[in-house]
Structure 1
Amino acid sequence: IYVDAVCATGGIEERMDDWGVDIVFAGNQKALGVPPGLANLVFSEKALERRNALGNISSYYMDINRWLPIMREPGSGYFSTHAINMVNALHQGLKIILEEGLEERFRRHRRFALAFQAGLEKIGFKLLPSKEIRANTVSTVLYPSGIEDLAFREKLYQNGVLVSAGKGVLAGKLFRLGHMGSITENEVVATLSIIEKTLSDINYDFRLGTGIGAAEKVLFAKE
């Protein structure tokens, strides 16, 4: 079982052994809060056995069996030139995560996700997928009638927020908003404020402040 955890690792609980996952792969640049440049992979013993059963393969750099000796005994020889600057960056990012504490970090990501989603829905957007399977690190936001994708995203960027477009059959129908890593309550509120300003700029009919108010109720609710 492979899990693409690019938008999860560092922001959402993952129990590889308990869930029977064999390979998890992620990237620095998402919820780990580190600049892009490294691929992070974890293999189970079952996955390593499966690799061994394949025998020789054509790949060199992408073969986990070529990495294992130098990973297990760094002084045993030379395999490749590592991106040392990125390894150091990842080390610092992991220290920040552990200082915050995993449970607290997961709770923060969930609270910020719920705040963003409450605010966006109050404004008039709809979200994919259904509530019970939404990620806590990124929101997929469907446009209501009357909003043109490119015009909205370009104006939003001019106002200070960059979001990603939809892909495939959903291109032009939604945008993707990341809320992961070392962000704060202030950034949640500021981002929603800029989204509201952008909607006002393109003459979308809604009541200013409704999204921010809904988000703040989530952010500042007593637990």
Structure 2
Amino acid sequence: MSAAPKANPPIRTLLGPGPSPVSPRVLAALALPVVGHLDPKFLEIMDQSMAMLREVFQTKNRLALPMSGTGSAGMETCFVNLVEPGDAVLVGVNGVFGTRMVDVAQRCGAQVDTVEAEWGTALDAQKFKDALGKKQYKVAAVVHAETSTGVLQPLDDIAEMVRESGALLMVDTVTSLGGAPVRVDELGIDACYSGTQKCLGCPPGLSPVTFSERAVEVIRKRKTKVQSWYLDLSMIEKYWSSERIYHHTAPISMNYALHEALRIVLEEGLEKAWQRHRQVHETFVREMRKLELEPAVAESIRAPMINTVKVPEGVDDPKVRQRLYDDFDIEIGAGLGPLKGKTRR
């Protein structure tokens, strides 16, 4: 068999839900010389990345590191390490990624209950409180910015209720990290995961996670092995700690890229980054309305980093998106699930 032609991907303007455009600085970092995963200089980069992740997550947690894999690997990391067969888990579902949480928790053997809301709306805090009062849950999980709908879930009330119930609070910040405050310590979030390809402006490939000491203690007291060897934090943390015990070969170049992406975020400043996303979002909505297009989400719960727009009646949305591809090299996303054909992202 002869070699395939050289890869020649087009230069697109990425305006969809992800991946996002990548800074030339981050692309240059990907081309830095590859060293071994235990090279002293690489270990320095690892330590610096952990310190920067703590700042972006707004936490002092000791355990804050990038897992090898995309955001879904971060989701699985949180569930497989905290959940054992038979554990009770409560999940808020108002979009694709709440649904995925349910699936992942069930694969861990959890007994899963849900609090559901119509896609495009926020979870109701009172319904969450009512559910928490029915049994003792080990974990309660919600999505902060639901990528499939464009909803930014208010967390304060739910976080307080979960804390009072004694359950561990898990939050998906794949889309929100770097684009809105996540306040891990202030809210008492016990397990939080994200992705590199959204507001961090990095290619997909790593999933930043952070765990509270309470969550770490739960992992240490497990009665069964973690379901996944690859995602077992009891071993992975020994590689990222001063012990430097080999677990798996870290994706060296992606760690370079994340390191540079975090530097860019912190050079700008978190608050300025959040403000920039909010200002761009507000400008987008204002200009969109001039074209007689409307947001699909109520103003009070719109995620500033993911804009969901109603598809006008009678418009062939796939045809519109294909023309943007073909004629303008612009990528936008389609609606998912019950919003397919009704929204674009």
Normalised to the residue count of structure 2, the TM-score between the two structures is 0.49
- Cα distance between partner residues in 1 of 2:245 and 2:271: 38
For 1:135 and 1:30, how far apart are their aligned partners in 2? 13
Q: SS where residue 344 of structure 2 aligns? A: strand
Partner of 2:226: 57
Query: What residue is the counterpart of 2:205 in the other structure?
Result: 37
**8 Å contact kept, 2:308–2:344:** yes
1:127 is aligned, of 295, 303, 307, to 295
Partner of 2:343: 174
User: 1:9 offset after TM fit, Å?
Assistant: 0.8
Question: Following the alignment from structure 2 to structure 1, what is the Cα–Cα distance between the partners of residues 188 and 295?
Answer: 30
- Look up the match of 1:97: 265
TM-score of the pair, normalised by structure 1: 0.75
**Residue aligning to 2:316:** 148
CA contact 2:193–2:208 (8 Å) conserved in 1:
yes
Match for 1:135: what amino acid?
Answer: A
The answer for the alignment partner of 1:165 in structure 2 is 334
CA distance in 1, matches of 2:174, 2:332: 17
SS at the partner of 1:139? coil
| Whole-angstrom distance in 2 between the partners of 1:59 and 1:36 | 21
CA distance in 1, matches of 2:289, 2:210: 36
Matched, 1:117 2:285: yes
What is the CA RMSD across the aligned residues, in angstroms?
1.3
State the aligned residue count: 175
Task: Tell me the SS of whatever aligns to 2:186.
Answer: coil
- Superposition map of 1:175-194 within 5 A: 175-176=344-345
Percentage of matched positions with identical amino acids? 37
| Structure 1 consecutive aligned stretches of length 4 or more whose deviation exceeds 4 Å | none
> Residue in 2 aligned with 1:48?
216
1:132 is displaced (CA, Å) by 0.8
* Higher helix fraction (1 or 2): 1
Distance (whole Å) between structure 2 residues aligned to residue 149 and residue 12 of structure 1: 29
AA in 1 matched with 2:216:
L
- Structure 2 regions of 5+ residues with no counterpart? 1-168
1:3 alignment partner, SS class? strand
SS of corresponding position for 1:17: helix
Consecutive unaligned residues in structure 1, runs of 5 or more: 177-223
Provide Cα deviations, 1:117-161, integer angstroms capped at 9, x if missing partner: 121223122213211111111101111223111111111222221
Other structure's SS at 2:187 match: coil
